[in-house]
Amino acid sequence: MAEQNLYVNCLISKPVYFADLCNAVIFDGKQIIRPEDLTTLPRHSGVMIADLEKGRRVLQRYRDVCAPIYN
């Protein structure tokens, strides 16, 4: 399963394949998302939380792929 996940993540990290997948699944094959409109974003983010019980701690999150934001 990990090997399949690696291959899928490598594939959909390419804008052409990500756009094709989204257009096929979400938009019924209509070319709404264009690869040239996509941007690569960091795959990790973090936030520091101040908690009265546990003190300060950092939560770090990782994502496979991040969908674009359109204005």
pLDDT at 68 over 70: no
pTM: 0.61
pLDDT one-digit tens code per residue, 5-64: 788 878 888 889 989 999 999 999 999 999 998 887 777 778 888 877 778 888 887 776
Note the pLDDT of residue 30: 96
Query: Using an 8 Å Cβ cutoff, are 12 and 21 in contact?
Result: yes
Alpha carbon distance 4, 37 (integer Å): 27
pLDDT one-digit tens code per residue, 48-59: 888 777 788 888
Note the pLDDT of residue 38: 86
Write out the H or E segment, with its range, that includes residue 60. strand 55-62
